[in-house]
Amino acid sequence: MAAQRSPTPEQALAGFSPGLPFAVAFSGGADSTALLLACARRWPGQVRAVHIHHGLQAAADGFEAHCQALCLALGVPLAVRRVQAGHAPGQSPEDAARQARYAALAEAVKTEWPEVRDVALAQHADDQIETLLIALSRGAGLPGLASMPANWQRQGLAWHRPWLAVPGVSLREWLQSQGQGWVEDSSNTDEKFTRNRIRARVLPALAQALPAFRETFARSAAHAAQAQEVLNEVAAQDLAQVGVPPRIQALQQLSRARQALVLRHWLRQCHATTPSTAQLHELLDQVAACTTRGHRLHLKVGQGFVERDGPSLSFVGA
């Protein structure tokens, strides 16, 4: 199968319509440098930039200096935020850093430019494939297989990923054609991280065996995202029927699959927690066993405990 031609950065931006002005998350790497440069040219005077200084490596000060110099040359206002992301027990350092980064981005935008409502991020087609492969390796369900959304709402802001159809190599080639340099984060080549091993070993093999894999894998992720939207609607309707908190007897009238769907939805929407597969199966077994008033229920689920409170379930944070 012949590989389809991926969109150029300019073509990818043609389908991007942020509210103006907007902000770009700018690390100084190739992907975000391409995004800032292309956006500043397309929307002169309407772009802001936020750089997150993680302080995780000695080169971080150099990254900040690069960002300051390029923003000065482009006439783009820059805000810098420093974060030290410690991770909780059971949380990966990467997840802790990601959450701290999003919180710092949102804080910077709201503080520096209250009129800004949109933020652009530079994840590209290879990042999307890596996310999908990691989800598959973990046995993820539809939310994981849907990978990264192109657009979503969070912390009162609209977030966008206009590069999701553009391979990373295309962004670097475009920057080189523009005579624009960038900084390289040495941690991106450290193969102790799963994502880096996929980038170094798996993606080249896929490109050789399945040249169109970026487009076809992305299509599968989009199908998963669409299916998850439908399931979210069903779960919301079922939750309205069983009540908040869920009534045990009403839950028992649903199939086991729909019980699982509505319980995940309740825990995620009302308590911002997600059960593991094992925890959810045990919870479903206990719900099925609640046939007498004396049946007690107290299970560790996500970041807390699900208990029986008379005719209903309740959630207690840990």
Mean pLDDT of the chain: 90
Dihedral pair phi/psi, residue 308, rounded to 5°: -90, 130
Residue 146 contacts residue 105 (beta carbons within 8 Å): no
Q: What is the pLDDT of residues 92-107, one digit of tens each?
A: 556 677 788 899 999 9
Question: In the prediction, which pLDDT does 92 show?
Answer: 59
In a domain, 24, yes or no: yes
**170 vs 145: CA distance, rounded Å:** 25
Residue 57 — very low, low, confident or very high, per pLDDT cuts 50/70/90? low
Return the CATH number at 68.
3.40.50.620
Of the candidates 245, 266, 262, the residue with the CA atom closest to the CA atom of residue 253: 262
Residue 272 pLDDT greater than 90, yes or no: no
Structural domain span for residue 298? 243-317
Q: How many domains does the chain have?
A: 2
- Average of pLDDT values for 160-176? 93
Do 166 and 273 sit in the same domain of this protein?
no
Question: In the prediction, which pLDDT does 3 show?
Answer: 46
The 3-state DSSP class for residue 230 equals helix
**47 vs 11: CA distance, rounded Å:** 19
Residue 2 — very low, low, confident or very high, per pLDDT cuts 50/70/90? very low
Do 18 and 94 sit in the same domain of this protein?
yes
Residue 67 contacts residue 54 (beta carbons within 8 Å): no
* 159 strand-pairing partners: 119, 152
In the block, tokens 């009129």 appear at 115
Query: Is the four-CA dihedral 73, 61, 157, 129 of positive or negative sign?
Result: positive
Residue 210 contacts residue 4 (beta carbons within 8 Å): no
Question: In the prediction, which pLDDT does 1 show?
Answer: 40
Q: What is the pLDDT of residues 40-54, one digit of tens each?
A: 999 999 999 999 987
Do 38 and 164 sit in the same domain of this protein?
yes
Of the candidates 284, 281, 310, the residue with the CA atom closest to the CA atom of residue 295: 310
Question: In the prediction, which pLDDT does 9 show?
Answer: 86
Q: What is the reported pTM?
A: 0.83
Q: With residue 36 as reference, give the H or E element that holds it.
A: helix 30-42
* Bridge-based pairing state of the strands 151-154 and 304-309: unpaired
In a domain, 164, yes or no: yes
Do 302 and 183 sit in the same domain of this protein?
no
